[in-house]
Amino acid sequence: MNTASTTAEQWERQLREVRARVAQAGGKPGVVPAEAARAMSGLEIMQALLAGHFPYAPIAETLDFFLVEVEPGQATFQGTPLPGHLNPMGTVHGGWYATLLDSAVGCAVQTMLAPGQGYTTAELSVNLVRGARLDGGPLRAIGKVLHCGRQLATAEGRIVDAQGRLYAHATTTCLVFGAR
């Protein structure tokens, strides 16, 4: 068995395990309760999302991608393009890549925030470098924080396949603020 095939199988197994854990905990799409979020660090919030203790973003259900890993300064999402993600020309719509990357880089920033802090995307720049195919298997968006200050945070992200081939990359600037 080749390495890419083994990696894709590991990714799919991990995604099934995460989805099962979230479902067992009652996880559904929705919004994290503001009061609970104010009392937790960003990393604690992301870990609670991954465990299914908080609702996951409705957009993840709409575009069929899911958070699979988080650690300080990094968040990883996995998705596989589906027919509903195609544009009229039969290729995966750029918005699918952009949303997956925005989630990865934004959640990477979230992992660095102290209790009572929030963020919003101020700028997102996405470059598509390879077209995804419907039969190409899972893709992962990996977001990594470059800088996290009191008012601004920056991060970069990459979408790769199980062979490590790059499909898209992005940078973001996020505004950091006190939660209300």
- Dump pLDDT digits (tens) for 131-140: 998 989 999 9
Sheet of strand 117-128, all strands in order from the earlier edge strand to the far edge: 65-71, 74-79, 139-148, 152-161, 166-178, 117-128
**Please, what is the average pLDDT of the chain?**
94
- 5 pLDDT exceeds 60? yes
Tens digits of per-residue pLDDT, 126-167?
999 999 989 899 999 999 999 999 999 999 999 999 999 999
Predicted local distance difference test score (pLDDT) of residue 179 = 65
Predicted local distance difference test score (pLDDT) of residue 1 = 55
Distances, alpha carbon 77 to alpha carbons 9, 17, 38, 83, in Å: 16, 14, 24, 19
Tallying the residues shown for the chain, one arrives at 180
pTM of the model as a whole: 0.94
Predicted local distance difference test score (pLDDT) of residue 94 = 95
